[in-house]
Amino acid sequence: MTIPTPLSEPTTQLSADPTDRDGIVRRSAAIAVAMAIVLAAVGVPLTLWLAADRSDAAFADREVIDGNRLGAGTVDLDVGEAASQLGARNLAPGDVVTGEVVLRNAGTLPLIVSVDASIEGEALGAWLRFDVWSTSGRCAAAPPATRSLALSGVPAPVVGGEQAPRLAPDAEVRVCVQAALPLSTPNDVQDRELTLDLRFLAEHDVEASR
173-205 per-position pLDDT tens digit: 888 888 889 999 999 999 998 888 888 888 998
141 located within any domain? yes
| Domain encompassing residue 135 | 77-185+193-209
On the question of pLDDT at 169 being above 90, the answer is yes
Which CATH number goes with the domain that contains 132? 2.60.40
Same domain, residue pair 127 and 165: yes
Picking from 67, 75, 132, the residue whose alpha carbon sits closest to that of residue 99 is 132
d(CA 148, CA 156): 7
d(CA 27, CA 12): 13
On the question of pLDDT at 33 being above 50, the answer is no
Same domain, residue pair 202 and 131: yes
29 located within any domain? yes
On the question of pLDDT at 10 being above 60, the answer is no
Q: What is the mean pLDDT of the chain?
A: 74
On the question of pLDDT at 146 being above 50, the answer is yes
On the question of pLDDT at 171 being above 80, the answer is yes
H/E element holding 199? strand 195-204
pLDDT of residue 188: 93
197 located within any domain? yes
Same domain, residue pair 163 and 101: yes
Same domain, residue pair 98 and 155: yes
CB contact at 8 A, 136 and 181: no
pLDDT of residue 161: 45
CB contact at 8 A, 74 and 108: yes
Same domain, residue pair 35 and 132: no
Same domain, residue pair 174 and 94: yes
57 located within any domain? no
On the question of pLDDT at 152 being above 70, the answer is no
On the question of pLDDT at 105 being above 70, the answer is yes
168 located within any domain? yes
Same domain, residue pair 37 and 85: no
On the question of pLDDT at 48 being above 50, the answer is no
Same domain, residue pair 41 and 83: no
pLDDT of residue 85: 65
Same domain, residue pair 28 and 131: no
Same domain, residue pair 84 and 32: no
Q: What is the pTM of this model?
A: 0.61
Report the domain count for the chain: 2
Residue 188 phi/psi, 5-degree rounding, is: -70, 0
- 53 falls in which pLDDT band (50, 70, 90)? low
CB contact at 8 A, 109 and 203: no
